[in-house]
C-alpha cells in the first residue's frame, strides 16, 4: 500500500505500493491462538504447492518486549473501541497510494463505513510506520480477528497486499467464512497477464478464491466496483 498513511503495501510497508467479536488478547497485546482445524482436514486448500509459499504468519516473527508494548499501544484506544462496538466490522485489504488502486480501495472502505452500525478500517490507519515492519503481521492478525468481514480489493499483484494475501492464505481456516474478494477483471488478455503476472501471488489467490467460493465478486471499472461492494453483506 503505497498510501500516504504508511502501510505494508504502498504506504511505507514491505513494498512500494499497497465473526463477530475479536480475539481475546493477553497483557502483551498478542491475539489468543485457537485451532479450528478438524482432525484429518488438510491445513491448506488442495491443489496449491505449499512449499512455494512464503511464511507470512505472525508465528514466524519474534517481538521484543518493547515491540509488544508498541503493538499494544497501537491497537488500543478510541479507534479500536469504535470497531469493537460496531455490529459489522470490515477490514479492507489491498493496494495503497493516492490514486488508482489505492483510491478505489479507500472508496470501498468509505462505502462500507457509511452503512448503519458498521465501521470499515485499514491496517495503516493504526499508526505503524515503515520502520516497524515486524509489527505489521501481528497487528494484521489481531485486526483480522476483530473483523466480521475481511474484504480484499484486488486489481493486480504489485504491492504489499501480496504479503497480506500470503497471510490470509496461511490463516484461511479462521478467515475463510468472513473473506470477500472484490477482484478486477480485464477484457484484454495481455493486460490481464501484466496485472496478475506473479506465480506465488496467483497460488495464494487461487486458494483464497476456492476458500471464499461465491464470495468472490468480479468487477471491471469504478461504477462496477460500487455494484460489487453492494454484494458484501
Given a contact cutoff of 8 angstroms between Cβ atoms, the answer to whether 177 and 36 are in contact is: no
Residue 142, pLDDT > 50, answer yes
Given a contact cutoff of 8 angstroms between Cβ atoms, the answer to whether 181 and 228 are in contact is: no
Residue 48 located in a structural domain: no
Please tell me the least confidently modeled range out of 22-26, 63-67, 143-147, 169-173.
22-26
Residue 20 located in a structural domain: no
pLDDT at 199: 74
Could you report the per-residue pLDDT of 33-73, keeping only the tens digit for each?
444 444 444 443 344 344 433 444 444 457 788 888 888 88
Could you report the per-residue pLDDT of 175-229, keeping only the tens digit for each?
778 999 999 999 999 999 888 887 777 887 888 888 888 999 999 999 999 999 9
For residues 142-169, average pLDDT: 84
Residue 35 located in a structural domain: no
pLDDT at 104: 96
Residue 27 located in a structural domain: no
C-alpha cell at 183: 477482484
Residue 154 located in a structural domain: yes
Residue 110 located in a structural domain: yes
Residue 170, pLDDT > 90, answer no
- The CATH number that applies at residue 195 is 3.40.50
Could you report the per-residue pLDDT of 78-128, keeping only the tens digit for each?
777 888 899 999 999 988 888 899 999 999 999 999 999 999 999 888 888
Q: How far apart are CA 128 and CA 69, in angstroms?
A: 13
Residue 12 located in a structural domain: no
Instruction: List CB contacts of 56: < 8 A, sequence separation 6 or more.
Output: 137, 163, 164, 166, 167, 169, 170
pLDDT at 172: 66
Q: Which of 83, 75, 183, 171 is nearest to 127 (CA)?
A: 75
pLDDT at 93: 92
Angle between helices 65-74 and 133-146 (to 10 degrees): 40
The domain tally of the chain equals: 1
Residue 15, pLDDT > 80, answer no
pLDDT at 61: 53
Q: How far apart are CA 202 and CA 74, in angstroms?
A: 32
Residue 51 located in a structural domain: no
Please tell me the least confidently modeled range out of 57-61, 151-155, 228-232.
57-61
Q: How far apart are CA 36 and CA 118, in angstroms?
A: 26
Return the higher-pLDDT residue of 230 and 26: 230
pLDDT at 185: 95
- Structural domain including 135 reads 63-230
How is the beta sheet containing 149-154 ordered, strand by strand? 118-121, 88-94, 149-154, 179-184, 216-219
pLDDT at 133: 74
pLDDT at 204: 77
pLDDT at 26: 46
Amino acid at each position: 500500500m503505497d498510501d500516504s498513511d504508511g502501510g505494508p503495501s504502498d504506504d511505507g510497508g514491505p513494498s512500494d505500493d499497497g465473526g463477530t467479536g475479536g480475539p481475546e488478547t493477553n497483557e502483551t497485546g498478542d491475539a489468543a491462538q485457537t485451532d479450528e482445524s478438524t482432525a484429518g482436514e488438510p491445513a491448506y486448500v488442495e491443489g496449491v504447492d505449499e512449499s512455494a509459499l512464503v511464511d507470512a504468519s505472525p508465528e514466524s516473527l519474534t517481538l521484543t518486549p518493547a515491540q509488544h508494548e508498541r503493538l499494544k499501544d497501537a491497537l488500543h484506544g478510541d479507534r479500536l473501541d469504535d470497531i469493537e462496538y460496531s455490529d459489522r466490522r470490515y477490514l479492507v485489504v489491498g493496494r495503497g497510494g493516492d490514486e488508482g488502486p489505492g483510491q478505489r480501495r479507500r472508496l470501498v472502505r468509505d462505502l462500507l463505513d457509511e452503512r448503519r452500525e458498521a465501521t470499515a478500517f485499514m491496517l495503516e490507519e493504526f499508526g505503524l510506520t515503515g520502520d516497524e515492519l515486524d509489527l505489521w503481521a501481528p497487528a494484521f492478525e489481531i485486526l483480522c480477528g476483530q473483523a466480521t468481514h475481511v474484504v480484499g480489493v484486488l486489481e493486480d499483484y504489485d504491492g504489499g497486499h501480496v504479503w497480506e494475501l500470503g497471510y490470509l492464505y496461511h490463516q484461511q481456516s479462521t478467515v475463510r467464512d468472513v473473506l470477500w474478494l472484490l477482484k478486477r477483471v480485464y477484457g484484454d488478455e495481455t493486460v490481464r497477464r501484466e496485472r496478475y503476472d506473479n506465480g506465488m501471488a496467483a497460488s495464494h489467490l487461487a486458494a483464497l478464491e476456492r476458500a471464499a467460493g461465491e464470495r468472490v465478486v468480479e468487477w471491471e471499472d469504478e461504477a462496477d466496483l460500487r455494484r460489487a461492494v453492494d454484494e458484501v453483506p
